[in-house]
Amino acid sequence: MSLRPTENPKPQPRARPVLGTNIPSFCFETIQELSHYAAHLVAALVHERAALGQKTVVGLPAGSTPLTTFRELIRLHNEDGLDLSSVVLFSLDEYYGLPANSPQSHRGWLQEQLLNRVNIPPDQVFFLDGQLHQSDIDLHCRRYDEAIQHAGGLDLVILGIGLNGHIGFNEPFSVRRSRTRLCTLDPITRRSVASDFFGEDNVPIQALTVGLSGMLSARRILLLAIGEHKSKIVVEALERPVSDRVPASYLQEHGDVRVLLDGPASSMLKGASTPWLLGNVTWGDELIKRATLWLCAQTGKALLKLDADDFRAHDLHQLLRHHGPAEAISQKVFRWMLDTIDYHPAGTQPKKIVCFSPHPDDDVISMGGTLIRLNDDKHEVHVAYMTSGNIAVFDHDALRVAELVADYNQLFEIELEQTNRLANQVREAIDQKKPGQPDMESILRIKGLIRRSEARAAAIAIGCKPSNLHFLDLPFYRTGTIAKKPVGEEDIQIIETLLKTLVPDQIYVAGDLADPHGTHRVCAEAIFAALIRMTERGEKLPDVLLYRGAWQEYPLHEIEIAVPLSPGDLSLKRQSIFMHESQKDKALFPGSDPREFWQRAEDRNRGTADSYNRIGLPEFFALEAFARWKGKPI
């Protein structure tokens, strides 16, 4: 039952308590460390209760948030001998009306991602049944609650938090005493999972969920929040008063809750964003910059217009006392921000550059203007497209291309029989395809070809050479569904091979943890793993710059390089984004932002320039922002 000691134990995760929250909350430097902590807490509880001859009754959710925790539990089971045979597991929710074998089913997801890989006995696993007739649901839900009580009650519940504050499928304005039931999904919930179903129209309207009273009756609760897109609702749940508008805030009334956050999810909490408002802090350069830029936003003043009264009026007495006068602080931060502006981010001497693009359009959307500048500066610019992006193409586009090729071959009398047969197979497969169903292999290949041709046209438009475009097609992405595999050895090897072959002086990596699909994060994990191996072998690393994707921009205090763009640069960048025709007008997975990708990019680039101007720096038409990699995983 005990864990076997390993020869090279992993370093213990470093958690930083987050001050100012109404629930004990802890921020971890990386998602891996957060997951390590959560999984080992589960393992310790299982071991403790098993030693007393007791089972451990656990309530688990599905979804991307607990996935890395589940993978660490699987590792503990496989490598360290963690015995989970004494666990009784209750699934917390399920979509209503969804077949059990659907890839979006929570039952199927838990089976695939956890249960098939550990030794929890099947007769100790309980699922809500989303296929019952409505007349049978009340009885089923009642018996589910009874089964939990019969098992001794929940010892531990692991929860994620929705963008609207839901836990399980207890949507906003759920009743505190609610039991397991059928509920109607909030529009925000349906929109947030739309990519899992290949479109919001395919998302079920109702779901079954364990109620708030059932979850809050658990002896211990872990709430996990990962990613910058969760930061706003984390504030509502942890710092604001309890409200039925934010069901997760009811956790404040529980006696044994821990909230585990990564840095981006905690970024808007007072203890992370404005710790000086909660007490004494140690004023390093990074905190001085953040506080002074925050003061600019609070006062509406430029840096060089701040005075001592501004610092005192906004509780920055300590900063003024230890690093003042006010003019000295403001001038220092002004110089720091001025030094971030760089027209030539790779210098003026020819260098070899690699831009890693998770999806086939992230390069031009996120840093198209900088790629224009790098090409204009005569650098050897390579773009490595890490995934095919094939699941983000509409069926009608795939059918159009298949029929176009068939017509083309007929026009020029090229392989007519095989071409027509494939076109008919594609047409038939699309006609018979059910909502949310993955594509057959041939359709995925056609969709991948569409994305590849668009990426090539876009890169050439901004000056890249066709021979410098690399389509890596990393294995972790090749599932045909939204759910991806974890980063594997083959993924890392492909990246290492590219780096060894090209030996770049500078690389650009998508460090966007707000990507709702997780692909950016997984791609970054693979790149960082390859770079860390290079470090361990004593090899020289390239200069590593991080860029954001289509969802967020770096806050001012995190920007280390800002590349000015002219109106001509922004116009050419827009034209290159337009080359991605399958993603234009209406993308299959646009996220929650209704704007097109080119609009998001332009608004963000102009917004960054406006932010620089507001703090008193030169006025630019647009800016693309970057940060430097700190040499750690994410």
Q: Which amino acid is at 520?
A: H
Each residue of 47-79: pLDDT tens digit? 999 999 999 999 999 988 999 999 999 999 999
Q: What pLDDT shows up at residue 9?
A: 43
CA atoms of 1 and 549, how far apart (whole Å): 45
- On whether the CB atoms of residues 615 and 302 are closer than 8 A, the answer is yes
pLDDT score for 630: 86
The 3-class SS string of 338-403 reads: HHHECCCCCCCCCCEEEEEECCCCHHHHHHHHHHHHHHHCCCEEEEEECCCCHHHCCHHHHHHHHH
pLDDT at 12 over 70: no
pLDDT of residue 423: 86
| Model confidence pLDDT, tens digit, residues 118-128 | 999 999 999 99
pLDDT value at 587 more than 80? no
Q: What percent of the chain has pLDDT over 70?
A: 94
Cis check for the bond before 633: say yes or no (omega within 30 of 0).
no
Residue 196's pLDDT is 82
Average pLDDT over residues 178-193: 95
Pick the range with the lowest mean pLDDT from 69-83, 90-104, 305-319, 604-618: 90-104
Question: What's the pLDDT at 2?
Answer: 38
Across 17-26, 107-116, 400-409, least confident range: 400-409
Please say if the pLDDT value at position 633 is more than 80.
Answer: no
Rounded-to-integer distance, Cα 627 and Cα 463, Å: 24
- pLDDT for the residue numbered 197: 84
Q: Is the confidence at residue 1, as pLDDT, over 50?
A: no
List, for residues 404-415, the tens digit of each pLDDT value. Answer: 988 998 888 888
Q: Which pLDDT score is estimated for 4?
A: 39
How many CB atoms neighbour CB 466 within 10 A? 9
The arithmetic mean of pLDDT across residues 144-150, rounded, is 98
The most distant pair of C-alpha atoms in the chain lies apart, rounded to whole Å, by 83
pLDDT value of residue 483: 63
Tokens 């501004």 found at: 310
How many other C-beta atoms can be found within 10 angstroms of the C-beta atom of residue 30? 18
Share of the chain above pLDDT 90, in %: 76
CA neighbor of 103 nearest in space, from 393, 437, 588: 437
pLDDT at 168: 97
Q: How many helices (H) and strands (E) does the chain have?
A: 21, 18
Higher model confidence: residue 529 or residue 7? Answer: 529
Amino acid at 462: I
The sign one gets for the Cα dihedral 600, 560, 493, 10 is negative
Task: Dig out the tokens for 564 from the structure.
Answer: 């000015």
CA quadruple 89, 92, 93, 94: dihedral, nearest 10: -10
Walk me through the domains of the chain, giving residue ranges and CATH numbers.
Answer: 22-270 (3.40.50.1360), 282-339 (no CATH), 352-387+451-628 (3.40.50.10320)
Q: Specify the pTM.
A: 0.87
Question: What band does 425 get if pLDDT is binned at 50, 70 and 90?
Answer: confident
In angstroms, the CA 196 to CA 185 distance is 15
Please determine, for residue 591, whether its predicted confidence score (pLDDT) is greater than 70.
Answer: no
Helices (H), 81-133: 106-113
Distance separating alpha carbons of residues 253 and 23, to the nearest angstrom: 9
Contact residues for 398 (Cβ-Cβ < 8 A; gap 6+): 426, 430, 439, 443, 446, 447, 450
- Whose structure tokens read 């999810």? 265
| Structure-model confidence comparison of residues 389 and 433, the more confident one | 389
Render the burial of 16-28: b for 16+ CB within 10 Å, e for the rest.
Answer: eebebbbbebbbb
Work out the pLDDT band at 517, boundaries 50, 70, 90: low
Supply the Cα-derived Rg of the chain in whole angstroms.
26
Task: Identify which of 208, 159, 128 has the alpha carbon closest to the alpha carbon of residue 59.
Answer: 159
pLDDT tens for each residue of 350-391: 999 999 999 999 999 999 999 999 999 999 999 999 999 998
Active site residues per annotation: 171
The DSSP annotation for 438-450 comes to: PPPHHHHHHHHHH
Reported as a single tens digit per residue, the pLDDT across 276-320 is: 999 899 999 999 999 999 999 999 999 999 999 999 999 999 999
